[in-house]
Structure 1
Amino acid sequence: MRIRLEVAYDGGDFHGWAAQPRLRTVEGELSSALATVLRVPEVHLTCAGRTDAGVHARGQVVHLDLDGLPEGAERLLRRVNGVLAADLRVRSVVEAPPGFDARFSAVWRRYAYRVVDDPAAVDPLTRGHVLAWPRPLDVAAMAEASQALIGLRDFASFCKQREGATTIRTLLDLDWTRDSSGVVTAVVRADAFCHSMVRSLVGCLLAVGEGRKPAMWPAEMMAAGRRDAAIAVAPAHGLTLEEVGYPPAGELSARAETTRAKRV
């Protein structure tokens, strides 16, 4: 039986998703709690996207395979949350439909990056989730510069390269808005993201927003096809994985096969 979990966490005290020896990680804490509750030696987890150290999540999706779920999903949900620390919560437990894979069946991931550029609007209660920026930002200029990055592209300029991994992605949305409290939010949605891609895109666009770079600069960096030290990686704490999208149940297996094929 494949079980689907929806998970939320405050990433401030985690060294990212992926389990690492002697470090507190989301995968390590969650797999340990599940193993304790299920009374098994270990639990293998697959997630929709491996978040970096300090990055938060509201809608991370995870799957694991079990011989069965004799106690029921609701009881497992309550017992696991009873073991976990308060900064990590399992929000739902359901049996996954046939062909479901938390990572490979996903059709998109949606992140939000939050920043405030007005000293009077900085809220100390949200300091762990919203970046305080010291200079005014032109939201319209950032939105204009973002449009040239949308589509099927090679994002090598905005990714930390991993041997054997492709940097080709389809960026579906990159929108900037300012709400009534003064918080500026970038909503970024793509079929998948490579390492540090969202934070690099945000860092590049913040340079446009404060007037240090022209609106065409992000597109020029994209065309260069390589990492440039001029592109700053925005701090992790402003970033949250909000939601993961999946196709209808009958298309899950086909989507997983398509995703596994390396793009060139």
Structure 2
Amino acid sequence: MDNINSLPALSSHIDYLLRLGDSTLVLGQRLAEWCGHGPVLEEDIALGNIALDLIGQSRLLLSHAGSLMQPPQSEDQLAYFREQFGFRNFTMLELPNSGLEKGQQQRDYAFTICRNFLFSAYAVLLWQALAESADRQLAAIAAKSAKEARYHLRHSSDWMLRFGDGTAESHRRAQDALNALLPYAQEFFSADQTEQQAAAEDIAIPGSSLKPDWEQLVQGVIQDATLAWPPSWNSSQFRSSGKTGQHSEHFGFLLAEMQSLARAHPGANW
């Protein structure tokens, strides 16, 4: 297929749908890496189910985005045959489960849970708002996804409380994860032309409008977990840029693993 980077400039509508679909796809892929490696069997199953929810959301969103393209693209074409600069996911969601330390291969469950918590709190608010989108297909996807996101948030919130109010080691790991991940959450709320145009057409919701409710939701759990909210949150100038196609050094490795089978056997089905 044609690389998406070689296609004419995408409309804000399509670009926005890709941001939603790519974010759920990439986080689902990261969570799938825990399959067979969960700290206990129950959590192995729980993370697998959350990953399946996210990938299911992605399938609906990418299929919808692809149907609006000329020529139309399938969900598989968009997931498996785009190059990394064509992806529009939030940078936070592509970070390795080991954390940010280069070369560290050991999975860190606190890092995974904290990321799920920060994103799920955002997703609950986002899907609730998008259930009123002028794009009726997106609205239907959002209404379904909101139910799943509420479960994801409940699961991750419970674990944040267990980590934060547990042992000294679990508290340290949760705090370290929160400190590392929070700067990337700024990307949820940074506005750009794509989002502004889609919002003007009543398709999207400005991310900045969700920030106060997100802060209240997240900070309440953080306080109950006896964790500290970094004072640099409001003054930080760091903005990751995955939603514009500029990714971290980790993304190419994730994409290579996710796409390798489809690219080795293009057109195969079973």
TM-score interval for Structure 1 and Structure 2 normalised by the shorter chain:
under 0.3
Q: Higher strand share goes to which structure?
A: 1
Bigger-Rg structure (1/2) = 1
Q: Higher helix share goes to which structure?
A: 2
Q: TM-score, length-normalised on structure 2?
A: 0.27
